[in-house]
Structure 1
Amino acid sequence: MLLVPAIVLETLVLFLPLVYVAYRSLYDWQPGSVSTFIGFKNYEHLLADPEFWQVIGNQLFYLLGLPLWVIAPLVVAFALREGVWRPGLFRSIYFLPAVMSPAIVGLVFRTLLATDGPVNAVLETSGLGFLAHPWLTDITYVKPVVIFLVLWASFGTGVLIFSAAFAAVPQNIFEAARLDGARFWSEFWHIAVPSVRGTVFLWAMFQLVCIFLFMFGWIYVLTGGGPGLSSATMDFFIYQQFMRFGFYGTAAAQSIALVGAIVLFPALGYGARALIETCFKRRRT
């Protein structure tokens, strides 16, 4: 019974609107006027649209940043466990970007990384002009730049989560490993990571969902989806179709496709985890 209020709220806020959008995706949706039932034509148009597949390709490219977003805070959290002066101070500094608005941070970095911005100016004046690039207006660089900026923004949260996970691991395990001659990386890979693998998987799944749901602020402010659609994500593409171009039925179909991706990729992640766990159990037996 205690779960009923939460279930009702979740249904009203999330599931009923989702059902309504799925229903409207079958119409030539014209808010405020007559909407004609067209079946699955919005989905057929979507699958035939090269721009949609370009955005899908962008999402898959951003998935390449997932190992970086997981491993970098994991290594730093392990390094801050002991023997570091004021580790809480470092954790606070790392966490600072997480409390800043993506819109504000996006404006700052858009200025810094502009073609005539401070970053390229410093590179030019220091004799490293060959490293100066149009970071946000070149197809080659824009998506890697977004990946590293998202790492910068989410890094502190990951460090805090992994630090809490390491604090719950019995310290005598690490002490015994050091007595046996284990060094930093062997201790990290063979003891630390297996001890917090549940937290690692949780953070990886959270970051995976973020790739599909929480990139809009960065893309909208930092690149505007450009150049062209080379940095656009599915949520930004839906916004464009709905708010800018008025293709409401197509945007509804894209929203359902986005929900499908959010369900599919974590399901694949859980399946991969179950397979890995099964392989480890067989090896142990």
Structure 2
Amino acid sequence: MNSSRYNPGLKKSSLVQKENYRGLLSVMPVVLMELAACGYPIAVAIGRSFTNWDGLYKNDFIGLTNYIKILTGSEFRLLLRNSFVLLLSIPIQVFIGLVLAVILYEKIKGWKLFRMVYYLPSIISAVTVGYLFKILFSYTGPVNRILSLFLGSSFAFEWLGNGMTALLIILFCIVWSNIGWQVLIFFGGLSSIDTSVLESAMIDGAGWWQRLFHIILPILVRTIEYSFIMSMIYIFSGIFPLIETITRGGPGYETTTIDYMIYTKAFTNSRYGEACALAVILLIIILAITKLQMSAANKIADWEG
């Protein structure tokens, strides 16, 4: 006797398993392509990180020497400091992007035009944005000219010659160029909110900021989590064009980030083994921070629930 005919739970379980298998098979081609495109290079980099590879012939196994040299060196702490300073741009751009998205969601006058204006910096190439900021903040650039005009020539400042101000300029550049992307992400998240929820809150007397912090933010926890994770990955691995065009990592290593140092070690100093080791360390940092962010988002979502 077929027991599944008289056991709806068992039949439902088998249907769920079939759906899971179908889902797995549907994504398998993409997974295999990702493994071929990303998994193999990562495996090679891990292997090369234990050698003194020069990119050509020299490829002697040296164990953990590259990792010890990197982690005990003073420059690595400076690279971490620079990267974590630039991470401060994430809450700034997320907050501004969320506020602008809510304003556009409420369809203020000319909201379609503003949506295009906010997104425009996101479609300009990073190299163009970098050169734009380099020109703006050069010693003879528009910023110093305006300061000299209103405050006197003594207020002209070498913005890119000072490590901290140069780093802050890069941070400002990151925020400006990514606001449009943040607005787009949050505008999509807001579109999934039932308008009756916000209308009920308005009828009950909730102000604009109250609706933002007590209604919109809890609903968009997952969207905010996605925004933080993608922005963090971008900060650690995607700002090379900005560093190269604005400061080239200078003065000294004051604005050099981990991804820029990987490029320097590999293609300037031909120390490919160290570059691979630094890339592996960067991968571990990104995975660790991503895990922390996902855990924090899960706790917030559970608390709100």
Report the AA paired with residue 96 of structure 1. Answer: L
The answer to whether the 8 A contact 2:144-2:156 is kept is: yes
The answer to whether the 8 A contact 1:162-1:199 is kept is: yes
Matching of residues 1-285 of structure 1 within 5 Å: 1-127=25-151, 132-281=156-305
Deviations 1:168-202 (A, max 9, x none): 21111111111111111111111111122211111
The structural deviation recorded for 1:118 is 1.2
- 1:200 and 1:159 map into 2 onto residues whose CA distance is 11
- 1:91 and 1:242 map into 2 onto residues whose CA distance is 41
After TM superposition, the structure 1 stretch with the greater mean CA deviation from structure 2, 20-29 or 79-88, is 79-88
Report the AA paired with residue 144 of structure 2. Answer: N
Q: % of aligned pairs identical?
A: 29
The structural deviation recorded for 1:203 is 0.8
- 1:279 and 1:190 map into 2 onto residues whose CA distance is 13
Give SS of 2:286's match: helix
The answer to whether the 8 A contact 1:81-1:163 is kept is: yes
The structural deviation recorded for 1:236 is 0.3
Give SS of 2:159's match: coil
- 1:276 and 1:237 map into 2 onto residues whose CA distance is 36
The structural deviation recorded for 1:243 is 0.4
Q: What is the TM-score with the length of structure 2 in the denominator?
A: 0.88
- 1:279 and 1:195 map into 2 onto residues whose CA distance is 12
Report the AA paired with residue 52 of structure 1. Answer: F
Q: 1:131 to 1:196 in 2, by over 3 A?
A: farther
- 1:58 and 1:174 map into 2 onto residues whose CA distance is 41
Q: What is the TM-score with the length of structure 1 in the denominator?
A: 0.94
Count matched residues.
Answer: 281
- 1:27 and 1:141 map into 2 onto residues whose CA distance is 38
The structural deviation recorded for 1:126 is 2.1
Deviations 1:45-92 (A, max 9, x none): 111211111101111111222210211100111112225112111010
Report the AA paired with residue 168 of structure 1. Answer: S
Higher-Rg structure is 2
Structure 1 unaligned runs (5+)?
none
Report the AA paired with residue 253 of structure 1. Answer: A
The answer to whether the 8 A contact 2:265-2:274 is kept is: yes
Structure 2 unaligned runs (5+)?
1-24
Q: 1:128 to 1:214 in 2, by over 3 A?
A: farther
Report the AA paired with residue 30 of structure 1. Answer: D
The structural deviation recorded for 1:132 is 4.2
Q: 1:181 to 1:253 in 2, by over 3 A?
A: same
- 2:144 and 2:100 map into 1 onto residues whose CA distance is 29
- 2:107 and 2:304 map into 1 onto residues whose CA distance is 33
- CA-atom RMSD, angstroms? 1.5
Report the AA paired with residue 124 of structure 2. Answer: M
- 2:229 and 2:255 map into 1 onto residues whose CA distance is 22
Q: 1:173 to 1:128 in 2, by over 3 A?
A: farther
Give SS of 1:27's match: coil
Report the AA paired with residue 277 of structure 2. Answer: A
- 1:131 and 1:278 map into 2 onto residues whose CA distance is 52
Report the AA paired with residue 230 of structure 2. Answer: F
Report the AA paired with residue 178 of structure 1. Answer: M
The answer to whether the 8 A contact 1:69-1:207 is kept is: no
- 1:149 and 1:199 map into 2 onto residues whose CA distance is 23
Q: 1:80 to 1:132 in 2, by over 3 A?
A: farther
Report the AA paired with residue 148 of structure 1. Answer: F
